[in-house]
Amino acid sequence: MPSMTAFRAAVVQAGSVIFDQEATLDKVASLTEKAAAGDARLTVFPEAFVSGYPRGVGFGSVVGNRTLEGRDLFRRYWDSSVDVPGTAVDRLAEIAADTSQHLVIGVIEREIGTLYCTVLFFSPEGYLGKHRKLVPTPTRKAGSRDLLGELHAAPANSNVRQGGAALVRSDRGWP
């Protein structure tokens, strides 16, 4: 059996700056620096930390209708979401490198007209991979379809190197 080395992990219990990617990434940097100062080698952030979990937000949507205000709010959500690969992933890799941290963080990923809850994995050497929630939530599916045209679901995947693993709430389906 391989030997295991003990290490300290930090579990972040904080909220993001909802729909503001840049401010949330600044908060990630600050909280990761704090974890590293406490001798953590692994820092884990909540689901959807970048760009926020819109609990209770319906984006002005009911079956057959969407309000203009709801469309505008969903556009803010879309605009603050993360492209993988992209500049936010690059920034998170820099944070992991600058703090010598292994970093696990939940993001809202956008791809091909759909938003996904995704977990990203980083080591101090860079981006390791992701796990994308298998089924987009109903609101994300409805919002994406209504705002951006026909829904084109990208394949779910986990492509994490070095043995990382994660599950996202409701990963096995939506009731």
Please list, residue by residue across 34-61, b when 16 or more beta carbons sit within 10 angstroms of its beta carbon and e when fewer do.
ebbeeebbebbbebbbbbbbbeebebbb
Range of the domain at 118: 8-148
Closest alpha carbon to 117 in 84, 73, 91: 84
Residue 99 lies in a domain: yes
**Separation of alpha carbons 20 and 38, rounded Å:** 27
Structural domains of the chain, count: 1
Consecutive 10-residue averages of pLDDT for the chain (175 residues) = 85 94 98 97 95 81 84 92 97 98 96 90 96 65 43 43 52 44
Q: Given this model, what pLDDT does residue 148 score?
A: 39
Residue 53 lies in a domain: yes
Question: At 63, which CATH number?
Answer: 3.60.110.10
The one-letter code for the residue type at 148 is L
Strands 65-66, 61-62: pairing kind: antiparallel
